[in-house]
């Protein structure tokens, strides 16, 4: 737990400094993150849809088959859930880049909907989804902060621990 708290504190403390780098990708690289290849749909849907300057992201797990599996409050710790949400965030960023060609096209993150595969008694949903939110603040600074929901689910596809969808406003082209 101490490692988790320390990682969160360091992430929040350095996020403004890291986010001041030239581009979101430079900010991510400075924080030690690398974008994976974007995920491809596994069913009858698209991973993103654009309407004007609004980009809608479908629910994402982690890319490259790296989703953390299990249930929070049972076999996945809050710290592992935070890491899972961070992996989901990297996948979402890869999708944004795939959709726009450049993460610098993001004007602001409007809405994050985080779903946590959790036991009925688990109450740390927001601590888990902070992994996603903290990553987006690292990439985009204050424009990465969004209205957010962090809710528990009795199950998620493939037993993923975390799934997140998002709504992003893009800059005028």
Q: Note the pLDDT tens digit of each residue in 144-173.
A: 999 999 999 999 999 999 999 999 999 997
Residue 19 is predicted with a pLDDT of 44
pLDDT: is 22 or 62 the higher one?
62
Long-range contacts of 100-104 (CB under 8 A, 24+ apart): 100/55, 100/170, 102/23, 103/23, 103/24, 103/25, 103/139, 103/140, 104/23, 104/24, 104/171
Residue 173 is predicted with a pLDDT of 77
Burial of 128 per CB tally in 10 Å (0-12, 13-18, 19+) = buried
> How much of the chain exceeds pLDDT 70, in percent?
88
What's the mean pLDDT when you consider all of the chain?
Answer: 91
User: Can you give the pTM of this predicted structure?
Assistant: 0.87
Nearest by Cα to 169 from 112, 110, 91, 102: 110
Q: Give 87-121 pLDDT, tens digit per residue.
A: 999 999 999 999 999 999 999 999 999 999 999 99
Q: Crossing angle for the helix pair 125-140 and 2-19, nearest 10 degrees?
A: 30
Residue 3 is predicted with a pLDDT of 52
Residue 7 is predicted with a pLDDT of 53
Nearest by Cα to 18 from 6, 28, 4, 7: 28
């Amino acid at each position: 737990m101490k490692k988790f708290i320390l990682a969160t504190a360091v992430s929040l403390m350095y996020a403004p400094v890291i986010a001041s780098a030239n581009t979101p990708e430079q900010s991510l690289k400075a924080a030690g993150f690398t974008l994976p290849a974007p995920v491809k749909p596994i069913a009858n849907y698209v991973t993103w849809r654009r309407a004007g300057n609004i980009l809608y992201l479908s629910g994402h797990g982690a890319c490259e088959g790296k989703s953390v599996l299990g249930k929070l409050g049972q076999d996945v710790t809050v710290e592992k859930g935070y890491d899972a949400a961070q992996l989901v965030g990297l996948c979402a960023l890869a999708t944004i880049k795939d959709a726009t060609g450049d993460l610098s096209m993001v004007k602001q993150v409007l809405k994050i909907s985080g779903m946590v595969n959790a036991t009925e008694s688990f109450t740390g949903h927001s601590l888990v989804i902070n992994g996603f939110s903290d990553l987006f603040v690292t990439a985009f600074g204050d424009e990465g902060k969004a209205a957010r929901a962090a809710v528990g689910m009795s199950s998620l596809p493939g037993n993923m621990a975390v799934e997140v969808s998002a709504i992003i406003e893009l800059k005028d082209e």
